[in-house]
Amino acid sequence: MIDHPSLHVAILLDGNGRWAASRGLARSEGHRAGVDAVRRIVRVAPALGIGTLTLYAFSSDNWGRPSIEVASLLSLLEAYLRSDASKCAADGVRLRVIGRRDRIPASLSQAIEAAERITASARILELRIAIDYSARDSILRASCWMLSSLEISEREFAKRLGEVTHTSGPALDVDLLIRTGGDHRLSDFMLWECAYAELFFTPRMWPEFEAADLRDAIEDFLKRERRYGKLPEAAAS
């Protein structure tokens, strides 16, 4: 176990399709293998000091993909929520889904509500799955809500942002953001929350991401000096 304060780690789950294509498989098989990777990482996250784990599973831009792939992705997400909720509850994992809920299938919305209800009392790890999520859209809607606010502050905005994304409280700053698949960009993920996040990019595709890869990312994070715009400790002394 890595001994440090509880971390909020966010991961962009990239590379499922390319992983499948490199093996001559359908893209849907890559997404299916990606669900297995989710289970591996959730299992080891608490021992690595992670208290909140946010996974980017389906972005609002993903609606632009072929309808067959979209349907397959959403079906896989629904199946995961229905099949794993009870085990998550037993393991102390609280499931929450962030993002919009007005455009997803009714059956997926029902699965989300059931999973959140079943795992509501879990406290070891909060697992947040981003579905139909866009940071820009969330910031825009939270900003509109701020027009009626009596308090103009980062604290109040974080509260509003949490409300529009269905989190369990104010938007929570990300400590470490990991992106698999080799690309070096945020892709509209947790833009407000990642203002001072440390970034870790790996060429490994998400279906092949293992517990050892997550440990390496955490250990790399722990070596960094987070200054939040201030001077390094040596220069300030």
Active site residues: 14, 62
Phi/psi at 133 (5° precision) = -110, 135
Decide: 189 and 59 in contact? Cβ < 8 Å: yes
218 vs 178: CA distance, rounded Å: 10
158 vs 46: CA distance, rounded Å: 25
Q: What is the four-CA torsion angle of 166, 119, 105, 107, rounded to 10 degrees?
A: -150
* Cα first-last separation, the chain: 32
Collapsing DSSP to helix, strand or coil, 142 comes out as helix
- Other residues' Cβ atoms within 10 Å of the Cβ of residue 178: 24
List CB contacts of 201: < 8 A, sequence separation 6 or more: 178, 179, 182, 183, 184
13 vs 84: CA distance, rounded Å: 19
Most distant pair of Cα atoms in the chain: their distance = 59
164 vs 154: CA distance, rounded Å: 15
